[in-house]
């Protein structure tokens, strides 16, 4: 394979990687937005507002969450606290209307299914651990998830992407983090496609990679 063909192959791989990372990020933002909206509804209930219809609409819109694996254990824990808050306010109001009772039953259903999902999430790796070492697709997918989590943590303050890149490069160098190193490479390539001057960051990336390999 010629040098040009190798570069083109690498470019295709990185573009695919970028698209996957962006898709994961969008999916994660949708989850966080949904949970934040549930929290806003709960605050309204706590203030004494009648938000029965809004709660019902939220359950209907997000019912599919219980059937897929996009939610993390922390998401279930956060929703569980919000549901608990809503349930306490329902009991305190002593409102036994059919609509309120339906909301209460729906909270119980979600709490039960969420508890079951958390149990599955904890036990699943024990079954698949022996095969995972030979499954490069699964390993790469898990790496993408960890990279997505790292990007979400570092980009939460709303800084420019260059600021995030600076943090990922520092993390890659100081902590010798593979996730930070790969995320740095991804951001650099994205910025390069957007016509940013990335040569200084490429040098830092190579230095971080050298440190991980024990070269400095």
Closest CA to 99 of 45, 42, 63, 51: 51
Q: DSSP code of 89?
A: H
What is this structure's pTM? 0.45
User: Per-residue pLDDT for the chain (216 aa), expressed as one digit of tens each?
Assistant: 565 666 666 666 666 666 666 555 666 777 888 888 888 888 887 676 667 888 888 988 888 887 766 677 778 888 888 888 888 887 777 777 888 888 888 888 888 876 665 544 444 444 444 454 457 777 887 888 888 888 888 877 666 889 889 999 999 888 888 889 999 999 999 888 888 888 899 999 989 888 877 755
**Whole-number Å distance between alpha carbons of 80 and 97:** 23
Radius of gyration of the chain (CA): 22
- 28-63 burial: b if 16+ Cβ within 10 Å, else e: beeeeebbeebeebbebbeeeeebbebbeebbeebe
Task: Tell me if 202 sits within 8 A of 188, measured CB to CB.
Answer: yes
In sequence order, the 6+-apart residues with CB closer than 8 A to the CB of 174 are: none
For the chain, the domains span: 3-115, 136-212
Straight-line distance from the first to the last Cα atom of the chain, in angstroms, rounded to the nearest whole number: 32
pLDDT of amino acid 169: 92
Task: Tell me if 180 sits within 8 A of 150, measured CB to CB.
Answer: yes
Considering Cα of 32, then 35, then 37, then 43, what sign does the dihedral take? negative
pLDDT of amino acid 71: 76
């Amino acid at each position: 394979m010629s040098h040009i063909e190798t570069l083109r192959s690498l470019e295709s791989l990185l573009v695919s990687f970028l698209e996957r990372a962006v898709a994961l990020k969008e999916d994660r933002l949708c989850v966080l937005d949904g949970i934040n909206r549930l929290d806003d509804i709960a605050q309204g209930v706590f203030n004494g507002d009648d938000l029965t219809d809004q709660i019902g609409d939220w359950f209907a819109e997000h019912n599919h969450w219980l059937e897929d694996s996009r939610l993390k254990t922390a998401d279930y824990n956060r929703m569980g606290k919000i549901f608990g808050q809503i349930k306490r306010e329902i009991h305190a109001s002593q409102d036994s209307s059919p609509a309120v009772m339906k909301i209460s039953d729906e909270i119980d259903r979600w709490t039960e299914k969420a508890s079951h999902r958390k149990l599955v999430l904890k036990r699943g790796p024990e079954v698949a651990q022996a095969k995972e070492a030979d499954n490069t697709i699964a390993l790469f997918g898990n790496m993408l998830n960890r990279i997505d989590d790292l990007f979400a943590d570092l980009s939460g303050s709303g800084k420019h992407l260059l600021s995030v890149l600076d943090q990922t490069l520092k993390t890659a160098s100081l902590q010798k983090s593979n996730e930070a190193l790969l995320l740095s490479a991804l951001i650099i390539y994205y910025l390069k496609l957007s016509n940013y001057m990335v040569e200084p960051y490429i040098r830092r990336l190579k230095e971080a990679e050298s440190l991980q390999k024990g070269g400095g």
